[in-house]
Amino acid sequence: MTVTDLADRAVDLGRLSVSDDEFAQRVRSWLEENLTGEFAHLRGRGGPGSEHEFFTERLAWDRHLAAAGWTCLGWPTEFGGRNATIAQRIVFHTEYARAQAPARVNHLGEELLGPTLIAFGTDAQRERFLPGIADVTQLWSQGYSEPGAGSDLANVATTARLEDGRWVINGQKIWTSLAHVAQWVFVLCRVERGSSRHKGLGFLLVPLDQPGVTVRPIQQLTGTSEFNEVFFDDAVTDADLIVGEPGDGWRVAMGLLEFERGVSTLGQQVGFARELDRVVAMARENGTADDPRIRERIVRSRIGLRAMRAHARRTLAEVDTGGAGGQASVSKLLWANWHRDLGELAMAVQGAPGLVAPDATTEGVANDITTPERVELGEWQRLFLFSRADTIYGGSNEVQRTIIAERVLGLPREARP
């Protein structure tokens, strides 16, 4: 399939010109009709800390969505998208979360790299990679963080040099989500010798299946391994697989991060609300809801969720008019800390029984991503442990506060080496 084929398909599907209510009903009806049969058991499966669950089946579900035209909604029609409005995309993600449809496996390609290629890539790059993202035949991972450059992304040390028409890459990436199941990785690295910080960077598209790449899963506190270390030892990619000009990688990388904090966050909040409702139900069932300290934490969670949703809607409206600034960092702080606190609340409601892992075998959970042998945790234990990472990945709390101080509040820039 080519970009032209995708565009033809998008035209056939038509622009989403119906009202938001009609569109919501269309999404709701399709999910009700299709989350059945072979896909019925996928409801509520996958997601952070549970990426090992039913991966093969969830990949098939993503491809089923693509065939029906429910992927890449916000992409322009000329690149195979539906040119959906912000409101319609919010509706889709909200209805998707309400239906407890399974976590998507193509988020990095569809929501991050695809829009980045549309904004910054060449025609040849779009023609080569957008169709595989749209029909979910090509999975991507993100090569940003390094052992010495986590939240401080400008400190990356991985290098790439041009040699005989190819980029030759050396270095290490860490916390590389889903690299063990992806075919490609987008890599931020230094392409100008002697450069430092934001200057001299390149944004490369690199195949993972080659002798110069080693992917090593990292076992997390949850026992799963959706993050990885990736080592590049004279790995190569074609000279034309750099997005933007050499040295312009920082601008491209930051553009991608803006796409990362898009409308899917509102669907995420529907999932958060469902988690909170179940924690409240558990508190009522075991009597901890009678504890005034627990009740106060529940009320604070309800208020926090409402504030988070209101801020997300306001931020998305500003993004649509090009004026978001550092507001995405405010959103990241709000949801990351709220979710971490929910994990702590869930454990407080469980009490002492939450300290004991359930049976090591969990009926019905298919683990078809290779992970180390582990004890299967309960839902709330997994939430508590994995949500510790919420305040780190995607930019730590400390980095987000610095961005807010400088870009939102206009305070003097922090001293840097």
C-alpha triplet 75, 119, 18: angle, nearest 5° = 20
Return the pLDDT at 340.
93
Residue 417 has pLDDT above 60, yes or no: no
SS (H, E, C) 137-197: CCCEEEECCECCECCCHHHCCCEEEEECCEEEEEEEECCCCCCCCCCEEEEEEECCCCCCC
378 versus 34: the higher-pLDDT residue is 34
Mean pLDDT of 114-119: 92
| 359: number of Cβ within 10 Å | 9
Least confident of 226-240, 241-255, 366-380, 402-416: 366-380
pLDDT digits (tens, 9 = 90+) for 134-171: 999 999 999 888 887 766 677 888 999 999 999 999 99
* Paired sense of beta strands 227-238 and 201-207, if any: unpaired
pLDDT averaged over every residue in the chain: 82
Yes or no: say if 129 and 205 are a contact pair by the CB < 8 Å rule. Answer: yes
Active site residue 260: yes
Catalytic residue, candidates 260, 275, 344, 379: 260
* Closest by Cα among 403, 261, 255 to 331: 261
Return the pLDDT at 370.
45
Report how far apart, in Å, the C-alpha atoms of 339 and of each of 268, 331, 383, 384 are: 11, 12, 9, 9
At residue 373, what is the residue type? E
The per-residue DSSP string of 39-100 comes to GGGGTT--STT-TTBTHHHHHHHHHHHHHTT-SSTTS-GGGT-----HHHHHHHHHHHHHTT
Q: Residue holding tokens 């002697």?
A: 194
Question: pTM (2 decimals)?
Answer: 0.77
